[in-house]
Amino acid sequence: MIKHLIKMVWNRKRVNFLMTLEIFISFLVLFAVILFAVYYTDNYRQPLGFEYRNVWNVSIDRSGIDNKGETVGPEIPPSHLLSNVRDFDEVEDAAGVSLAPYSLSNSNSVIEHNGRTIWYGFNRVTDSFKDVMGLTIVAGKWFGPEDDGANWQPVVINQRLARDMFGSEDPVGKNFPTGNDTDITRVIGVITDFRQDGEYAGLDNYLFFRNDINGAEASPLQNIVVHVRPGTTAAFEEKLIERLQATARDWTFDIEPLTSMREQVSQIRLIPLIAAGVVAGFLMIMVALGLVGVLWLNVTQRTKEIGLRRAKGATARKIHTQILGELVVIASFGLMLGIIVVVQIPILDVISFISARVYAYSLSISVLLIYILTLLCGLYPSRLATRVQPAEALHYE
Protein backbone atom coordinates (compact mmCIF):
# COMPACT_ATOMS: atom_id res chain seq x y z
CA MET A 1 0.00 0.00 0.00
CA ILE A 2 2.77 2.44 0.97
CA LYS A 3 4.78 1.55 -2.13
CA HIS A 4 1.71 2.18 -4.28
CA LEU A 5 1.09 5.57 -2.64
CA ILE A 6 4.71 6.62 -3.15
CA LYS A 7 4.48 5.63 -6.82
CA MET A 8 1.30 7.68 -7.30
CA VAL A 9 2.86 10.70 -5.62
CA TRP A 10 6.00 10.35 -7.74
CA ASN A 11 3.95 10.17 -10.94
CA ARG A 12 2.53 13.59 -10.06
CA LYS A 13 5.81 15.00 -8.76
CA ARG A 14 5.47 18.35 -10.55
CA VAL A 15 2.14 19.04 -8.88
CA ASN A 16 3.24 17.69 -5.51
CA PHE A 17 6.58 19.54 -5.44
CA LEU A 18 4.98 22.83 -4.39
CA MET A 19 3.12 21.16 -1.53
CA THR A 20 6.34 19.47 -0.40
CA LEU A 21 8.15 22.81 -0.48
CA GLU A 22 5.37 24.51 1.53
CA ILE A 23 5.49 21.80 4.17
CA PHE A 24 9.30 21.98 4.31
CA ILE A 25 9.33 25.76 4.91
CA SER A 26 6.44 25.57 7.36
CA PHE A 27 8.24 22.90 9.35
CA LEU A 28 11.42 24.98 9.67
CA VAL A 29 9.49 28.05 10.88
CA LEU A 30 7.35 26.01 13.25
CA PHE A 31 10.37 24.17 14.64
CA ALA A 32 12.19 27.43 15.42
CA VAL A 33 9.21 28.71 17.44
CA ILE A 34 8.57 25.36 19.15
CA LEU A 35 12.27 24.99 20.01
CA PHE A 36 12.40 28.19 22.07
CA ALA A 37 8.95 27.59 23.53
CA VAL A 38 10.07 24.17 24.80
CA TYR A 39 13.39 25.65 25.96
CA TYR A 40 11.67 28.35 28.02
CA THR A 41 9.13 25.87 29.39
CA ASP A 42 11.87 23.47 30.42
CA ASN A 43 13.81 26.28 32.10
CA TYR A 44 10.74 27.56 33.94
CA ARG A 45 10.28 24.14 35.54
CA GLN A 46 13.77 24.23 37.05
CA PRO A 47 14.51 25.66 40.52
CA LEU A 48 15.35 29.36 40.48
CA GLY A 49 17.86 29.19 43.32
CA PHE A 50 16.85 32.37 45.14
CA GLU A 51 13.82 34.19 46.57
CA TYR A 52 12.63 37.38 44.87
CA ARG A 53 9.47 38.15 46.86
CA ASN A 54 9.74 41.01 49.37
CA VAL A 55 13.20 41.86 48.01
CA TRP A 56 14.03 45.31 46.61
CA ASN A 57 17.09 46.30 44.65
CA VAL A 58 18.80 49.64 45.24
CA SER A 59 21.06 50.50 42.31
CA ILE A 60 23.85 52.97 43.05
CA ASP A 61 25.11 55.48 40.50
CA ARG A 62 28.33 56.97 41.85
CA SER A 63 28.38 60.00 39.58
CA GLY A 64 31.59 61.38 41.02
CA ILE A 65 33.93 59.10 39.03
CA ASP A 66 36.79 60.21 36.81
CA ASN A 67 37.91 58.69 33.53
CA LYS A 68 40.12 56.19 35.38
CA GLY A 69 37.15 54.74 37.25
CA GLU A 70 38.18 56.27 40.56
CA THR A 71 35.82 58.19 42.82
CA VAL A 72 36.41 61.92 42.81
CA GLY A 73 34.37 62.80 45.87
CA PRO A 74 34.51 61.20 49.33
CA GLU A 75 34.15 57.41 49.29
CA ILE A 76 31.40 56.09 51.56
CA PRO A 77 32.33 52.88 53.38
CA PRO A 78 30.10 50.01 52.18
CA SER A 79 29.49 48.93 55.76
CA HIS A 80 28.15 52.40 56.56
CA LEU A 81 25.62 52.25 53.69
CA LEU A 82 24.37 48.80 54.72
CA SER A 83 24.13 49.86 58.35
CA ASN A 84 21.92 52.82 57.42
CA VAL A 85 19.63 50.57 55.41
CA ARG A 86 19.31 48.00 58.21
CA ASP A 87 18.32 50.69 60.72
CA PHE A 88 14.74 50.77 59.39
CA ASP A 89 12.09 48.62 61.08
CA GLU A 90 10.74 47.70 57.63
CA VAL A 91 14.05 46.04 56.71
CA GLU A 92 14.82 42.48 57.75
CA ASP A 93 18.29 42.42 56.19
CA ALA A 94 20.37 43.96 53.40
CA ALA A 95 23.38 42.91 51.36
CA GLY A 96 25.71 44.30 48.74
CA VAL A 97 25.97 42.72 45.31
CA SER A 98 27.80 43.68 42.14
CA LEU A 99 25.15 42.31 39.75
CA ALA A 100 21.57 42.24 40.97
CA PRO A 101 19.22 39.41 40.00
CA TYR A 102 17.02 40.15 36.95
CA SER A 103 19.34 43.00 35.92
CA LEU A 104 20.39 41.15 32.73
CA SER A 105 23.96 42.19 33.52
CA ASN A 106 26.52 39.41 33.62
CA SER A 107 30.20 38.85 34.29
CA ASN A 108 31.67 35.72 32.76
CA SER A 109 34.99 33.94 32.71
CA VAL A 110 36.42 30.80 31.15
CA ILE A 111 39.00 28.26 32.28
CA GLU A 112 40.63 25.19 30.78
CA HIS A 113 40.24 22.17 33.06
CA ASN A 114 41.21 18.59 32.22
CA GLY A 115 41.18 19.39 28.53
CA ARG A 116 37.73 20.97 28.67
CA THR A 117 36.65 24.60 28.34
CA ILE A 118 34.37 25.62 31.20
CA TRP A 119 32.45 28.88 31.18
CA TYR A 120 30.99 30.33 34.35
CA GLY A 121 29.33 33.49 35.56
CA PHE A 122 30.54 35.22 38.69
CA ASN A 123 29.39 37.85 41.15
CA ARG A 124 30.77 39.61 44.21
CA VAL A 125 28.54 39.74 47.29
CA THR A 126 28.66 40.54 50.98
CA ASP A 127 28.20 37.98 53.77
CA SER A 128 24.47 38.66 54.25
CA PHE A 129 23.56 37.95 50.62
CA LYS A 130 22.64 34.33 51.37
CA ASP A 131 20.04 35.28 53.99
CA VAL A 132 18.61 38.17 51.96
CA MET A 133 18.12 36.07 48.82
CA GLY A 134 17.27 32.78 50.54
CA LEU A 135 20.11 30.74 49.02
CA THR A 136 20.39 27.06 49.96
CA ILE A 137 23.75 25.59 50.98
CA VAL A 138 24.13 21.91 50.04
CA ALA A 139 27.78 21.47 51.03
CA GLY A 140 30.28 23.42 53.12
CA LYS A 141 29.30 26.88 54.30
CA TRP A 142 28.64 30.45 53.20
CA PHE A 143 30.93 33.45 53.72
CA GLY A 144 31.39 34.67 57.26
CA PRO A 145 33.70 36.54 59.66
CA GLU A 146 35.79 33.39 60.03
CA ASP A 147 37.05 34.06 56.49
CA ASP A 148 38.66 37.35 57.56
CA GLY A 149 42.42 37.39 57.23
CA ALA A 150 42.64 34.14 55.26
CA ASN A 151 45.65 33.86 52.97
CA TRP A 152 43.41 32.58 50.18
CA GLN A 153 40.27 33.91 48.53
CA PRO A 154 37.07 32.04 49.48
CA VAL A 155 34.45 31.30 46.81
CA VAL A 156 31.06 29.60 46.77
CA ILE A 157 29.99 27.75 43.62
CA ASN A 158 26.71 26.25 42.44
CA GLN A 159 26.06 22.53 41.97
CA ARG A 160 26.41 22.63 38.20
CA LEU A 161 29.86 24.19 38.35
CA ALA A 162 30.85 21.72 41.08
CA ARG A 163 29.91 18.81 38.80
CA ASP A 164 31.72 20.27 35.80
CA MET A 165 34.89 20.99 37.76
CA PHE A 166 35.14 18.18 40.30
CA GLY A 167 32.76 15.48 39.08
CA SER A 168 31.65 13.25 41.95
CA GLU A 169 34.37 14.51 44.30
CA ASP A 170 33.60 16.83 47.21
CA PRO A 171 34.64 20.33 46.02
CA VAL A 172 34.75 21.88 49.50
CA GLY A 173 38.33 22.75 50.43
CA LYS A 174 39.67 22.36 46.91
CA ASN A 175 41.39 25.14 45.00
CA PHE A 176 39.50 26.70 42.11
CA PRO A 177 41.65 27.69 39.10
CA THR A 178 40.38 31.18 38.29
CA GLY A 179 43.39 31.95 36.11
CA ASN A 180 44.88 34.41 38.60
CA ASP A 181 48.23 32.95 39.60
CA THR A 182 48.86 35.51 42.34
CA ASP A 183 45.87 34.57 44.52
CA ILE A 184 44.78 31.17 45.77
CA THR A 185 41.04 30.69 45.37
CA ARG A 186 39.43 27.97 47.48
CA VAL A 187 35.89 26.57 47.44
CA ILE A 188 34.25 26.83 50.87
CA GLY A 189 30.67 25.97 49.92
CA VAL A 190 28.22 24.77 47.29
CA ILE A 191 24.73 26.16 46.71
CA THR A 192 21.84 24.91 44.61
CA ASP A 193 21.81 25.95 40.95
CA PHE A 194 21.49 29.74 40.75
CA ARG A 195 19.90 31.51 37.76
CA GLN A 196 20.54 35.22 38.05
CA ASP A 197 18.61 36.14 34.89
CA GLY A 198 15.38 34.52 36.03
CA GLU A 199 13.10 31.58 35.37
CA TYR A 200 13.47 31.54 31.58
CA ALA A 201 17.27 31.53 31.65
CA GLY A 202 19.14 28.26 31.32
CA LEU A 203 21.12 26.56 34.06
CA ASP A 204 24.65 27.93 34.02
CA ASN A 205 27.81 27.54 36.06
CA TYR A 206 28.00 30.22 38.74
CA LEU A 207 30.54 31.42 41.30
CA PHE A 208 30.38 33.96 44.14
CA PHE A 209 33.37 35.93 45.39
CA ARG A 210 33.30 37.47 48.84
CA ASN A 211 33.21 41.23 49.26
CA ASP A 212 34.66 41.81 52.71
CA ILE A 213 33.18 45.23 53.42
CA ASN A 214 35.12 45.51 56.68
CA GLY A 215 38.45 44.77 55.05
CA ALA A 216 41.03 47.13 53.62
CA GLU A 217 40.25 46.01 50.05
CA ALA A 218 36.45 46.26 50.23
CA SER A 219 34.86 46.75 46.81
CA PRO A 220 32.42 49.67 46.40
CA LEU A 221 28.77 48.64 46.39
CA GLN A 222 27.02 48.78 43.03
CA ASN A 223 23.70 47.39 44.22
CA ILE A 224 22.06 46.77 47.57
CA VAL A 225 19.42 44.04 47.82
CA VAL A 226 17.02 44.71 50.67
CA HIS A 227 14.73 42.10 52.20
CA VAL A 228 11.74 44.06 53.48
CA ARG A 229 9.09 42.80 55.86
CA PRO A 230 5.91 41.41 54.26
CA GLY A 231 3.33 44.14 53.72
CA THR A 232 5.87 46.94 53.26
CA THR A 233 4.36 49.47 50.85
CA ALA A 234 5.95 51.58 48.15
CA ALA A 235 5.83 54.56 50.52
CA PHE A 236 8.91 53.16 52.24
CA GLU A 237 10.95 53.77 49.08
CA GLU A 238 10.92 57.53 49.69
CA LYS A 239 12.14 57.12 53.27
CA LEU A 240 14.93 54.80 52.17
CA ILE A 241 16.02 57.10 49.34
CA GLU A 242 16.14 60.10 51.71
CA ARG A 243 18.35 58.20 54.15
CA LEU A 244 20.74 57.03 51.44
CA GLN A 245 20.84 60.42 49.76
CA ALA A 246 21.71 62.05 53.08
CA THR A 247 24.56 59.55 53.48
CA ALA A 248 25.96 60.04 49.96
CA ARG A 249 24.82 63.37 48.53
CA ASP A 250 26.79 63.08 45.28
CA TRP A 251 25.38 59.67 44.41
CA THR A 252 22.10 58.67 42.82
CA PHE A 253 19.96 55.81 44.11
CA ASP A 254 17.15 54.00 42.32
CA ILE A 255 14.87 51.45 44.01
CA GLU A 256 12.92 48.74 42.23
CA PRO A 257 11.30 45.59 43.67
CA LEU A 258 12.63 42.36 42.21
CA THR A 259 9.04 41.42 41.33
CA SER A 260 8.93 44.36 38.91
CA MET A 261 12.36 43.52 37.50
CA ARG A 262 11.20 39.92 37.06
CA GLU A 263 8.17 41.04 35.03
CA GLN A 264 10.35 43.21 32.79
CA VAL A 265 12.79 40.36 32.14
CA SER A 266 9.90 38.00 31.37
CA GLN A 267 8.49 40.45 28.85
CA ILE A 268 11.88 40.89 27.19
CA ARG A 269 12.17 37.14 26.72
CA LEU A 270 8.56 36.25 25.92
CA ILE A 271 7.36 39.10 23.69
CA PRO A 272 9.71 38.17 20.79
CA LEU A 273 8.64 34.53 21.15
CA ILE A 274 4.95 35.47 21.15
CA ALA A 275 5.46 37.69 18.10
CA ALA A 276 7.27 34.87 16.30
CA GLY A 277 4.46 32.52 17.30
CA VAL A 278 1.85 34.86 15.81
CA VAL A 279 3.82 35.09 12.56
CA ALA A 280 4.19 31.30 12.48
CA GLY A 281 0.47 30.94 13.16
CA PHE A 282 -0.44 33.15 10.20
CA LEU A 283 2.02 31.21 8.05
CA MET A 284 0.37 27.93 9.08
CA ILE A 285 -3.04 29.35 8.14
CA MET A 286 -1.76 30.47 4.74
CA VAL A 287 -0.16 27.08 4.15
CA ALA A 288 -3.35 25.32 5.23
CA LEU A 289 -5.48 27.37 2.83
CA GLY A 290 -2.98 26.71 0.06
CA LEU A 291 -2.99 22.96 0.71
CA VAL A 292 -6.77 22.83 0.73
CA GLY A 293 -6.92 24.73 -2.56
CA VAL A 294 -4.28 22.56 -4.26
CA LEU A 295 -5.90 19.34 -3.04
CA TRP A 296 -9.32 20.53 -4.12
CA LEU A 297 -7.99 21.22 -7.61
CA ASN A 298 -6.16 17.91 -7.55
CA VAL A 299 -9.34 16.00 -6.79
CA THR A 300 -11.26 17.87 -9.52
CA GLN A 301 -8.60 17.01 -12.11
CA ARG A 302 -8.65 13.35 -11.11
CA THR A 303 -12.37 12.79 -11.47
CA LYS A 304 -11.84 10.25 -14.27
CA GLU A 305 -9.26 8.29 -12.26
CA ILE A 306 -11.40 8.24 -9.14
CA GLY A 307 -14.53 7.34 -11.11
CA LEU A 308 -12.77 4.35 -12.71
CA ARG A 309 -11.62 3.17 -9.31
CA ARG A 310 -15.18 3.36 -8.03
CA ALA A 311 -16.36 1.44 -11.08
CA LYS A 312 -13.87 -1.33 -10.29
CA GLY A 313 -15.32 -1.68 -6.78
CA ALA A 314 -13.33 0.76 -4.65
CA THR A 315 -15.41 1.93 -1.71
CA ALA A 316 -15.71 5.55 -0.60
CA ARG A 317 -13.59 4.68 2.43
CA LYS A 318 -10.75 3.40 0.24
CA ILE A 319 -10.84 6.56 -1.88
CA HIS A 320 -10.80 8.65 1.29
CA THR A 321 -7.82 6.68 2.63
CA GLN A 322 -5.95 6.97 -0.68
CA ILE A 323 -6.18 10.77 -0.85
CA LEU A 324 -5.13 11.16 2.79
CA GLY A 325 -2.37 8.58 2.34
CA GLU A 326 -0.93 10.48 -0.62
CA LEU A 327 -0.98 13.65 1.48
CA VAL A 328 0.86 11.88 4.32
CA VAL A 329 3.54 10.73 1.83
CA ILE A 330 3.92 14.28 0.50
CA ALA A 331 4.18 15.62 4.06
CA SER A 332 6.76 12.93 4.88
CA PHE A 333 8.97 14.02 1.98
CA GLY A 334 8.84 17.64 3.17
CA LEU A 335 9.49 16.61 6.77
CA MET A 336 12.44 14.42 5.80
CA LEU A 337 14.11 17.40 4.16
CA GLY A 338 13.31 19.57 7.18
CA ILE A 339 14.65 17.00 9.66
CA ILE A 340 17.89 16.70 7.69
CA VAL A 341 18.37 20.47 8.04
CA VAL A 342 17.30 20.63 11.69
CA VAL A 343 19.54 17.83 12.97
CA GLN A 344 22.56 19.77 11.76
CA ILE A 345 21.98 22.37 14.51
CA PRO A 346 22.94 20.16 17.49
CA ILE A 347 25.56 18.30 15.46
CA LEU A 348 27.33 21.55 14.54
CA ASP A 349 26.61 22.96 18.04
CA VAL A 350 25.14 26.13 16.53
CA ILE A 351 23.01 26.83 19.63
CA SER A 352 25.11 25.29 22.38
CA PHE A 353 22.94 26.34 25.33
CA ILE A 354 19.99 24.18 24.24
CA SER A 355 20.20 20.53 25.29
CA ALA A 356 19.68 17.52 23.05
CA ARG A 357 16.60 16.60 25.07
CA VAL A 358 14.96 19.94 24.23
CA TYR A 359 15.85 19.42 20.55
CA ALA A 360 14.25 15.95 20.62
CA TYR A 361 11.02 17.21 22.24
CA SER A 362 10.80 20.16 19.85
CA LEU A 363 11.39 17.97 16.81
CA SER A 364 8.72 15.48 17.89
CA ILE A 365 6.15 18.20 18.57
CA SER A 366 6.86 19.97 15.27
CA VAL A 367 6.57 16.77 13.21
CA LEU A 368 3.33 15.85 14.97
CA LEU A 369 1.82 19.30 14.38
CA ILE A 370 2.73 19.26 10.67
CA TYR A 371 1.10 15.85 10.23
CA ILE A 372 -2.02 17.03 12.04
CA LEU A 373 -2.13 20.18 9.90
CA THR A 374 -1.79 18.30 6.63
CA LEU A 375 -4.39 15.70 7.59
CA LEU A 376 -6.86 18.41 8.59
CA CYS A 377 -6.25 20.14 5.26
CA GLY A 378 -6.95 16.90 3.41
CA LEU A 379 -10.22 16.03 5.16
CA TYR A 380 -12.57 18.10 2.98
CA PRO A 381 -10.88 17.46 -0.43
CA SER A 382 -10.74 13.73 0.31
CA ARG A 383 -14.40 13.89 1.29
CA LEU A 384 -15.19 15.43 -2.10
CA ALA A 385 -13.33 12.57 -3.78
CA THR A 386 -15.62 10.02 -2.12
CA ARG A 387 -18.64 11.66 -3.78
CA VAL A 388 -17.37 10.93 -7.29
CA GLN A 389 -19.67 8.37 -8.92
CA PRO A 390 -18.51 5.76 -11.50
CA ALA A 391 -20.76 7.31 -14.16
CA GLU A 392 -18.86 10.60 -13.95
CA ALA A 393 -15.83 8.95 -15.54
CA LEU A 394 -17.85 8.48 -18.76
CA HIS A 395 -17.94 12.26 -19.26
CA TYR A 396 -14.18 12.11 -20.04
CA GLU A 397 -14.49 9.34 -22.71
Segment 37-91, tens digit of pLDDT: 999 999 999 999 999 999 999 999 876 555 555 555 567 788 888 999 999 999 9
292, 381 contact by CB (below 8 A): yes
Is 0.75 surpassed by the pTM of this model? Answer: yes
As a whole number, mean pLDDT of residues 274-300 equals 81
Measured between its terminal Cα atoms, the distance across the chain in Å is 29
As a whole number, mean pLDDT of residues 124-148 equals 94
CA distance 359 to 353: 11
Question: Above 80 in pLDDT, residue 305?
Answer: no
Which segments of the chain does DSSP mark as H helices, in order?
Answer: 2-11, 13-44, 78-86, 129-133, 159-166, 235-247, 258-301, 303-311, 316-342, 344-348, 356-386
Segment 81-110, tens digit of pLDDT: 899 999 999 999 999 999 999 998 889 999
CA distance 205 to 115: 17
Q: Coil, helix or strand for 109?
A: strand
As a whole number, mean pLDDT of residues 302-309 equals 60
Mean pLDDT over each residue of the chain, to the nearest integer? 83
Count of other CB atoms within 10 angstroms of residue 62:
17
What is the reported pLDDT for 62?
79
What is the reported pLDDT for 282?
87
Q: Coil, helix or strand for 189?
A: strand
**Whose CA is closest to 223, among 101, 64, 67?**
101
Q: Which residues contact 180 (CB under 8 A, 6 or more apart)?
A: none
Question: Above 80 in pLDDT, residue 11?
Answer: no
Q: Which residues contact 359 (CB under 8 A, 6 or more apart)?
A: 35, 342, 345, 346
